Amino acid sequence: MKTLLIIDVQNDFIPNGSLPVPNGNQIIPVINKIQDKFDLIIGTQDWHPKDHISFASNHDEKSVFDEIEIHGQPQTLWPDHCVQGTEGAAFHPDLNTEKFEAIFRKGTDKTIDSYSAFYDNGHLKSTGLAGYLKEKRTSQLYVCGLAADICVYFSIIDALNEGFDCFFIDDASKSLDIKEFETLKKEMIAKGIQIVTSRSV
């Protein structure tokens, strides 16, 4: 089963959103175009309660992009984003979601962040995605979306550790920090993740 995992193509991560990924809107036509090449398509959404611990607004005397420690893990403080039920948390209207067989929501626990589509940042609780994909007999897992250096990266690393044959679709993803992501791509390659483009999926 050849599966496409589309990470967090939500309004708040698109330019003019509350946590915009530079040129994040440019990946939408790419993702729409490749969907016919897959047997199974899964989407994910950041889905935060408004009092989420990762929001800078919920910490006195802290600013956006400050770093604190939560459960022994470093935590960047973000602008309020992808709050449950808001327009910012919705998939971008140009994204074709008709073929999504399932949608997995993450970051729902207000006490811990969840970059990965598989686990929270402390690996305390599973989203159930790994079990779902194994039950569907996914063999090849292609991952794309926003932001490449955060939620896409942590998702594909967890997918690899769960035993999936992983592919990162470079031109169907955008990063918050382009320079940082170049380093992460080298790490992904070293771990055995294949970097591909939409033309070669």
CATH of the domain at 31: 3.40.50.850
**Residue 166 is among the residues annotated as catalytic for this protein:** no
- Domain count for the chain, please give it: 1
Asked whether the beta carbons of 161 and 127 are under 8 A apart, the reply is no
Of the residues 8, 12, 46, 149, only one is catalytic, namely: 8
120-139 average pLDDT score: 96
pLDDT of residue 21: 98
| Residue of 82, 144, 151, 166 with catalytic role | 151
Of 106, 113, 166, 185, the catalytic one is: 106
Residue 154 lies in a domain: yes
Using the predicted structure, report yes or no on whether residue 72 has a pLDDT greater than 90.
Answer: no
Spatial separation of the C-alpha atoms in residues 163 and 49, rounded to whole Å: 31
Q: What is the pLDDT of residue 60?
A: 93
Judge whether 63 lies within some domain: no
**Is 134 known to be catalytic?**
no
Would you say 161 and 188 are in contact if contact means Cβ atoms under 8 Å apart?
no
Reported as a single tens digit per residue, the pLDDT across 15-53 is: 999 999 999 999 999 999 999 999 999 999 999 999 999
Q: What is the pTM of this model?
A: 0.97
Quote the domain boundaries for residue 189: 2-47+90-200
Q: Is 64 inside a domain boundary?
A: no
Q: Identify whether 158 is a catalytic site residue.
A: no
Phi and psi at residue 31, to the nearest 5°: -65, -40
